[in-house]
Amino acid sequence: MVEISASILNLEEDNVIKKLYDLEAAKIDYFHIDVMDGIFVKNNTVQKMKKYCEYLNNISNLPIDVHLMVTNVKEYVNEFLVFKPNIITVHLEAFSNKNELKEIIKYIKENNTRVGISIKPDTKIGEIFEILKYIHQVLIMTVEPGKGGQSLIPQTLEKVEALNEFIKKENIDIDIEVDGGINEKTAIEAKKAGANILVAGTAITRAEDYKKIVEELKKI
């Protein structure tokens, strides 16, 4: 069975506490927090995501899955560590070399938090093979990072397949999360390719009935 990480990026602010309760009651597995700095991608969601993390710390025990789409990674790692996330995912493309990336991985782990690495649609999967042994999760972007509500790019699922084959062959225990354009239809393809955690934003937040859509996505 796949797990569902609900992206709350597009959750409107009115009545948001009730919506967060409803998402938890709908049995999502994680709250996915999309942090955008206005540099790595155009949008800036820092204040909104901080506010939502504060709410979550007060009202929910579900794990927080932070996805940092930022250039100054360390600054935002520090800003979001305070919310005690279960995992922080950073983008490979934000680093100029592997040593810097390894430093951040070490830093996040020293702060008792799991680590994920994300790659954009144009980044080759082979680029992260050498760091898999240091991390807990790979987040494969199935759309260009920057906003919710886009369509999944089918070729990105070939990377999920390749990664899945590689980790099986090398006997590496790691989660494969996909992010962007996940709905009832694409979820089936993503699972078939080997993803075990699906991020879903607008498919859930735009639905009339959170319970129904989450159930549908989980049982595929």
- Hey, which residues are catalytic here? 34, 179
Q: Name which of 67 and 159 has its Cβ closer to ligand DX5.
A: 67
Beta bridge partners of 198: 4, 178
Q: Which of 123, 149, 166, 220 binds ligand DX5 (CB under 6 A)?
A: 149
136 binds, among Zn ion, ligand DX5, none (CB under 5 to 8 A by kind): none
Q: Which of 179, 194, 204, 217 binds Zn ion (CB under 5 A)?
A: 179
Structure tokens at 206: 């735009």
Looking at residues 3 to 42 of the shown chain, list those that interact with Zn ion (rule: CB under 5 A).
34
Residue 182, interface with ligand DX5 (CB under 6 A)?
Answer: yes
Residue 65, interface with Zn ion (CB under 5 A)?
Answer: no
Contacts with ligand DX5 by CB under 6 A lie at 7, 9, 32, 34, 67, 143, 145-146, 148-150, 179-182, 199-203
Contacts with Zn ion by CB under 5 A lie at 34, 67, 179
